[in-house]
Structure 1
């Protein structure tokens, strides 16, 4: 019973539509009506600005982290990744926002932070490198998801300090999330191919102000 209750709590945590709530509460805007129409971090930055974007990013990240830590906090002998994955499902299919949510990137990163902090830091470094090279959040997100999945397989053998043991559930979850993240970015991929993808004011190909 405790496990079921905590899984529901993990889903509800993931379902918190940070971008929508911040937009409506402080800016009187529904960010789904502006920009890309997405309720996630990137569109929040674009529509509401840096401060709001950072707050929403932190909220989306930490709700994945907190959900992943639930079995540890309540002393359950269950792999925390299940709770993190449920939170990601909540983020993408939020009950508080008509089951239309974000693209899973920030909350997936939060899950990784809760499960393996050093692996999370390692992954963030790669993400920032790709973001600097491309100046595109979408490209960095997709590439990083693939990189994390592959790293979950090989890293325990080549750099065990970062990821000490092989965990096939981690690899499976990363693979599933990579597929989902790539699918949710299908329109971004088309824009990348056409050279019309949105760029951020950071990196080698940054957007000019």
Structure 2
């Protein structure tokens, strides 16, 4: 019974590691949340500090979700409620980090890390779908939300364990909630676009 309490705490603490904030603070002496979109995620890191910084932050944020989920899955292979509570706690930690004034990111990389740890092939399919949507739209927020939501719905339909399916759908819904400002800009037609893809702005 104690495992149902301890493991979500582990997930939350892992998710609370504010990769982008710590990177920008110690490497560039500025809090990335004061720049650009005021988000601590890899997209804002990349816009302000370059591709290498974005890749580094993305990898660490992936691991923040993947490692605690993998450990819980490995130790309790038959108890999906523990894995998914760890997963949800990790994304909550990323969004509201204990170590960064509860002002975190939009949970994309951490959620993808969890998906890769759950089923690597499905995670790769989601990443490929993200890349396709990004190429068609040149919009990171749309590609993130749509690719993860479609993958989560697929898991809900096809995976026998409904706890898993519901857990991933909840993560997709939370991701959309964290992108609510982006959704407003998408509806207004003025969301930021990256500099490549079919709809990139020259």
- How high is the TM-score relative to the length of structure 2? 0.91
Between stretches 1-10 and 188-197, larger displacement belongs to: 1-10
Asked if structure 2 preserves the Cα contact closer than 8 Å seen for 1:92 and 1:100, the reply is yes
The residue aligned with 1:104 is 107
Residue-pair matches, total: 199
1:174 counterpart = 2:175: no
Which residues in structure 2 correspond to 1:72-83 (within 5 Å)? 72-74=73-75, 77-79=78-80, 80-83=83-86
In structure 1, C-alpha distance between the alignment counterparts of 2:124 and 2:44, rounded to whole Å:
24
Deviation at 1:153, TM superposition (A): 3.3
Distance 1:47 1:71, change over 3 A: same
In structure 2, C-alpha distance between the alignment counterparts of 1:189 and 1:75, rounded to whole Å:
37
> What's the RMSD between the two structures over aligned residues?
1.7
Match of 1:199 among 187, 193, 196: 193
Question: Gaps spanning 5+ residues in structure 1: where?
Answer: 157-164
Structure 1 residue runs of 4 or more that deviate by more than 3 Å after TM superposition: 1-6, 72-77
- How high is the TM-score relative to the length of structure 1? 0.88
Asked if structure 2 preserves the Cα contact closer than 8 Å seen for 1:92 and 1:102, the reply is yes
Asked if structure 2 preserves the Cα contact closer than 8 Å seen for 1:60 and 1:107, the reply is yes
